[in-house]
Amino acid sequence: MKLPVEPERLRQRFPSLTDEDLAAYSAVTRALVALPRARGRRLAEVMAAADRGRAKEAAAMPLEEEERLAVAYLRALEKMQG
């Protein structure tokens, strides 16, 4: 599935993006694009997982895979928003 913006183009425009950032962007964006009717609900779930993940990070607790991916996705978005 083609992404709205390819990772290499993002890397050129936002050089601070890491491989982990781009992998998270790609994985989450593909999931969002694949299910257009559930996009809003799924994005809300990703953001909730990112919030849980950040709280766990702050408490030095281990993250679940879903939380790790969501935190990486959110960090990528923050880097792209400046």
Residue boundaries of the structural domains of the chain: 7-81
In this prediction, residue 1 carries a pLDDT of: 72
Give me the DSSP letters along 23-50: HHHHHHHHHHHH-GGGHHHHHHHHHHHH
The string of pLDDT tens digits covering residues 9-58 is 999 999 999 999 999 999 999 999 999 999 999 999 999 999 999 999 99
In this prediction, residue 13 carries a pLDDT of: 96
Find the mean pLDDT for residues 56-81. Answer: 97
The predicted model scores a pTM of: 0.91
3-state helix, strand, coil in the chain (%, to 5): 75, 0, 25
Measured CA distances, 82 to 21, 25, 29, 70, 71 (Å): 14, 16, 19, 19, 17
- Please give the residue that has the higher pLDDT: either 4 or 66: 66
One-letter amino acid of 7: P
In this prediction, residue 27 carries a pLDDT of: 96
